[in-house]
Structure 1
């Protein structure tokens, strides 16, 4: 997975789907679809124009052919809203009936993350459930089975 430094002020971590402000340490956690969209826009920032069809395919795969313009417009709106919350404004602009253009004044540095730094969510909740069930079964056995002497 990759990490992108945007204007030396923000870090976007693809694996965590988070944007962190280096100034305020504020963090925005993004949905899977918005993170996919942002990753695609960043990967293709060097292009003069990023097509809406390209974004739809990157986000929805083969189903992207059947996604309406309204769905794509909503995705861009929500992504802009997330970026604005963290203080990153005007990363990209929509060119009507053409596509998306990344702001030329924004500098994006990309680096690959080492595998060990990719954070995996712990599955402790599964262990707790197993422990609780075991305790309940033990209590059931102690209280309800007749004692033989």
Structure 2
């Protein structure tokens, strides 16, 4: 039986993934109806604790129009992340979209790799088993070539 990929499911999978990579200092998450990014986490290996990841998560839709929603759900997340961007220190802040696998693939193809590189934008693709694939700005370029 396939697991329902809710926003909280995506969030938990990404937090687990980031923890393994050392992004586990000063973790902040928000509730479903709270304002701000879903995940804000600091790199524990950085002695000044200046490097941060701001990640907006979205779950998978199971409505009758789910295919159409999957086509655009990443746009909502992208808009939310962009409105919260801080331009204080270049490359100190990284931004991410936490998306179900179907939406993540669409986002990889549709967000220009130049924009992803300039914005330090990453995509975290979560499958129905909770496995996370992290796509860096470099991966946007690779996926848009094919």
Tell me, yes or no, whether TM beats 0.5: no
Q: TM-score, normalised by structure 1?
A: 0.28
Q: TM-score, normalised by structure 2?
A: 0.29
- Could you say which structure has the higher helix fraction? 1
Look at both structures and tell me which one has the larger radius of gyration over its CA atoms: 1
